[in-house]
Amino acid sequence: MIAMEEFLKEFGDYYGYPDGPKNIKEIRETEFKRLDEGVVYLDHAGSTLYSELQMENIFKDFTSNVYGNPHSQSDISSATSDLIADARHQVLEYFNASPEEYSCIFTSGATAALKLVGESFPWTQDSNFLYTMENHNSVLGIREYALGQGASACAVDVEEAANQPGQQASSGPFIKVKHRAVQMRNTSKLQKEETRGDAYNLFAFPSECNFTGLRFNLDLVKLIKESTETTLQGSPFGMSKRWMVLIDAAKGCSTLPPNLSEYPADFVVVSFYKLFGYPTGLGALLVRNDAAKLLKKTYFSGGTVAASIADIDFVKRRERIEDFFEDGSASFLSIAAIRHGFKLLKSLTTSAIWMHTTSLSMYLKKKLLALRHGDGAVVCVLYGSENLKLLSHKSGPTVTFNLKRPDGSWFGYLEVEKLASLSGIQLRTGCFCNPGACAKYLGLSHSDLLSNVEAGHICWDDNDVINGKPTGAVRVSFGYMSTFEEAKKFIDFIISSFVSPPKKIGNGIAVSGRFTQLASEELESKESFPSYYLKSITIYPIKSCAGFSVTRWPLCRTGLLHDREWMIQGLTGEILTQKKVPEMSLISTVIDLEEGLLSVESARCKDKLHIRIKSDSYNPRSHVFDSHANNKLENHNEETRINSWFTNAIGRQCKLLRYSSFTSKHCLNRNKSPGLCRDLESNINFANEAQFLLISEESVADLNRRLEAKDEDYNRANEKLDAYRFRPNLVISGGEPYAEDKWRTVKIGDHHFTSLGGCNRCQMINISKEAGQVKKSNEPLTTLASYRRVKGKILFGTLLRYEIDAKTESWIRVGEEVNPDIE
């Protein structure tokens, strides 16, 4: 309550719609009841949320009225055409654009609107395409059309100062545009000293940067169009005439839509799901009518022609701008839906939405900037928020940052995303499809970017820190229904998960709070075993399905014979796991080596499935485990039978694949695309990282004690964890908790293994089975994250590689002594 009082003391006049038809508490209680389940949604820059009342009104509209294809003369089609015309008017009204000056062209999204401008703009070899560094990839894509037609392209930085010497205070801020390297594919253009003055040029910028939230000064529109020589002074483009301006308003229009009567841009793109959550797949291009007449469109389709003749080169196109550009039938039901979204925004007003969301982002920025580690080191680096006093009018409701450890190294943004998800907080990480802003604010040079690509880094992969530098950032963004409580929960999450408290002395030992293990007196007294033994052996023939335990089993080049030798693949080629298909945990497996059979069973399938394994396939010295071409089962009928069984078992079309030792030693990264495994010196099947996972019973027992001490409700609802929750191949007993962390090598019986380090755990360990049903929770990963995090990884269990020895019998047995070599 104290935090809320402090917040309202500073932002009470702006927060919560005090003068609106509903305050924020009433909005949440009546229109966003689904968020009461503990979900904190903080990715409104990616897509805001639809209101439940909005969807009820849409459903009522659709079930009370009949809408049809507008390309007809029927009464229903005419009524639908009128509805579409009304929707166009509402879009223009939202941007204060006169229908006499602007037209609204509906598209499949903001990207399609940008593509339309790029492909139809009147490019010539004398044209120039300038765009700010802070632009979405969908704007950068226009560059391909420009360069392809021989035009020049160039990224620019916009610098703004309050006043220049001798400039009157009333004349507004001074804006300077600085260019970067000029790009061109028409080398003959370099030889020309002057360009023709009749070429059209395009300048593109976002109303709000989707990376930092910084808003661009809309005076740029008039400065580029009317004061080109001054604004572009010092660049090769200052003498170019006939400039047209494009504003990407997809992000910024949800709080401050550009006023087109004051800032007459030629093109403005909008995305409706960013405005009010629904519908998706619909956007619009607002185009000045005089600019639309200059666009060149090649393709024609149904709806865009007045007449055409099939067997001669004749077509007469429709003249209305909307009819000329909107190919095919309009998405009339989606267009009907946006009227209910605009009704919602009008009831709140964009100014009130802006004040409400900005109060939350300003609060969050101040709290993040104030965070310090126990030793005084800065925790958070904000991007585009250097001076908070100047930001209230220059920034949208977006907060982008990275976090630092006490030693100055970076927390990876994926670590933040992973832990936030465990806490029920949904946010966004990466570069947000804005490579220019990402490089600019993270200080990444061309050399850095190219070396990152050469190292294998691509969008949405696991490489969040390369060579000590972040490759992206964390972004939190607020929407009209966001609350103080959500912002406060996020701050509390950052403090509890990433801020190191002051060092304290406990029992004469310096510790650092939450990163330590439980103090010895908090643990149950337990006899210390000087030796270890192998408690169990488990084989998982099919990746992500249940395994079976044995007392003895042969070893081979890939680890335990037949371990993860099969996997289930979806129709589009993706590898299916429990994270995507939790029901896979209900598929049981067992292998009979003597019979050469893999047997698979599921409650969803009436019959047990038997798959014949070749009699020589378990030869531990054999280098080939599958002679079938292209990893397919030899007999087509057998393949069909097996794939049909698994399709029924998991409820989606799939097929079973078997590993061949002739395939590469690559494993799967976060996106299920190939990536190098940690185990590069031996063969593995379809394992993620290594041949073996070893789990200690004592470490599991310690984790259970922590869970019991943390959450009584969790203990009442859940049984104690056993080692098999973590899908180990080998379970050992004896010793102290986490002693395996320090093992370099280990000998089990007569077999030698090398430790590859700890196993990085994911949310798959949060999936459990109860009475034949799959259950998901946040545990035990949340608790493990509180004390087993190392450089962004949550470690539990040890990965091993088998050092095969042809001189010894290649069978491993339960009860064998385990002898580690400790660091």
Copy the structure tokens of residue 681.
């010196």
Q: Which domains, from first to last, does the chain contain?
A: 1-32+351-498 (3.90.1150.10), 75-161+174-186+198-347 (3.40.640.10), 532-614+635-660+680-821 (no CATH)
The more confident residue out of 247 and 626 is: 247
Separation of alpha carbons 499 and 114, rounded Å: 42
Q: How confident is the model at residue 683 (pLDDT cuts 50, 70, 90)?
A: confident
pLDDT of residue 686: 84
Separation of alpha carbons 342 and 536, rounded Å: 62
Average pLDDT, the chain: 87
Q: Model confidence over 192-210: pLDDT tens digits?
A: 555 566 899 999 999 999 9
Closest CA to 151 of 162, 161, 142: 142
Closest CA to 125 of 185, 70, 45: 185
Question: Which residues in 44-191 belong to E strands, given as ranges?
Answer: 102-107, 128-132, 152-161, 174-184
Torsion on CA atoms 559, 564, 566, 567, rounded to nearest 10: -150
Torsion on CA atoms 252, 258, 263, 267, rounded to nearest 10: 70
Torsion on CA atoms 247, 252, 254, 260, rounded to nearest 10: -40
pLDDT of residue 746: 95
Closest CA to 657 of 619, 617, 686: 686
Q: How confident is the model at residue 457 (pLDDT cuts 50, 70, 90)?
A: confident
Looking at residue 497, the DSSP 8-state letter turns out to be H
Copy the structure tokens of residue 135.
């632009």
Q: Cβ atoms within 10 A of the Cβ of 405, count? A: 14
Separation of alpha carbons 285 and 246, rounded Å: 10
Lowest mean pLDDT among 607-616, 742-751, 792-801: 607-616
Percent of the chain with pLDDT over 90: 70
Catalytic-role residue among 209, 433, 438, 545? 433
3-state secondary structure of 687: coil
The more confident residue out of 195 and 796 is: 796
Q: Model confidence over 95-132: pLDDT tens digits?
A: 999 999 999 999 999 999 999 999 999 999 999 999 99
Q: Which three-class secondary structure string do you get for 404-416?
A: ECCCCCECCHHHH
In contact, 322 and 105? CB cutoff 8 Å? yes
pLDDT for 667 beyond 50: no
Q: What is the mean pLDDT of residues 566-587?
A: 92
Q: Write down the pTM of the prediction.
A: 0.84
Q: Model confidence over 273-291: pLDDT tens digits?
A: 999 999 999 999 999 999 9
pLDDT of residue 807: 57
The structure tokens 């037209």 sit at 103
The structure tokens 């490579």 sit at 435
Q: How far is CA 169 from CA 161, 162, 231, in A?
A: 12, 8, 18
In our burial notation (b when 16+ CB lie closer than 10 A, e otherwise), range 115-154 reads bbbbbbbebebbbbbbbbbbbbebbbebbebbbebbbbbb
Q: What is the mean pLDDT of residues 742-770?
A: 91
Known catalytic residue at 433: yes
Point out which residues pair with 795 in neighbouring strands. Answer: 760
- Burial label, 343 (beta-carbon count in 10 A; 0-12, 13-18, 19+): middle
3-state secondary structure of 98: coil
Separation of alpha carbons 360 and 372, rounded Å: 21
pLDDT of residue 168: 53
pLDDT of residue 173: 63
Greatest mean pLDDT among 3-12, 153-162, 334-343, 511-520: 334-343
Q: What is the mean pLDDT of residues 379-402?
A: 79
Closest CA to 396 of 281, 255, 530: 255
In contact, 717 and 778? CB cutoff 8 Å? no
Lowest mean pLDDT among 152-156, 393-397, 741-745: 393-397
